[in-house]
Structure 1
Amino acid sequence: MAKETNLVRRVSVKAANKNIQAFSSGDTVNVFVKVKEGEKERVQLYKGIVTKIQGSGAAKTFTVRKISAGVGVERTFPFASPALDKVELVNVGKVRRSKLYYLRALEGKAAKIESELVSTKAEA
């Protein structure tokens, strides 16, 4: 049993994606996804609010919600996916829940999340 646990731990460490900034539920992020079309590969931007983070290790995932043409679209990304190019933190949201399922029922300005004040300059 100990060997199996050790193997899972080693695979989880290797699968970790280094191009992901730390973020939490309620944050607005830019997710850069590698898309393969025929023989060409390009990077596509997916910008939205993180509604949940679940799992641990190699199975850890996060879900991002955005409004596209007036319709809410949610997409789940594995942290260890090779299709993720990078994830940038755009805005830190001020929320008191880890799972933001209530956003699905809200429309317009009601679906906006209050943001925290974050300093962008490095203070010396």
Structure 2
Amino acid sequence: MVDPRNEQEVPENKHRLSTLKGTVIARRNAGLNSIFRIRRMVAVDIESVLPLYSPNIKEMQVLNKNKTRRAKPYYLRDRKNTLKKQ
């Protein structure tokens, strides 16, 4: 499990950068068409599919690495979000 932090440009506004912080739960290697699926836990759980070699992604950092049970940890989808009000 890898936690990248991405800065991605918003297409309609060239000067604003948004930072995404989450857990990578899948990666598909297909040359230049490689993608990764990131799961962010904010008020709601959001999954985003981003191209790995996108010119819109300026920087990517690995914040920590953990051992997982599988190569693609889709089981993290069932994890409860601590920020949600029950």
Taking structure 2 as the reference length, the TM-score comes to 0.84
Does the 8 A contact of 1:28 with 1:48 survive in 2? yes
- Structure 2 gaps, min length 5: none
Contact 2:45–2:81, Cα closer than 8 Å, also in 1? no
> Which has the higher relative contact order, 1 or 2, with Cα contacts under 8 A spaced 6 or more apart?
2
Write the distance in 2 (CA, Å) between the matches of 1:73 and 1:65.
6
Pick the structure with greater CA Rg: 1
Alpha-carbon distance in structure 2 between the residues aligned to 1:77 and 1:88: 15
TM-score by length of 1: 0.60
Q: CA RMSD in A?
A: 1.6
1:63 touches 1:75 (CA, 8 Å); kept in 2? yes
Question: Which structure has more strand as a fraction of its residues?
Answer: 2
Q: State the aligned residue count.
A: 82
Q: What is the identity percentage for the equivalent residue pairs of Structure 1 and Structure 2?
A: 30
Alignment correspondent of 1:93: 66
The structure that is helix-richer by fraction is: 1
Structure 1 moving runs of 4+ over 3 Å: none
Listed as ranges, the matches of 1:70-89 within 5 Å are 71-89=44-62
Q: 1:51, CA displacement in angstroms? A: 0.3
Unaligned runs of 5+ in 1: 1-25, 110-124
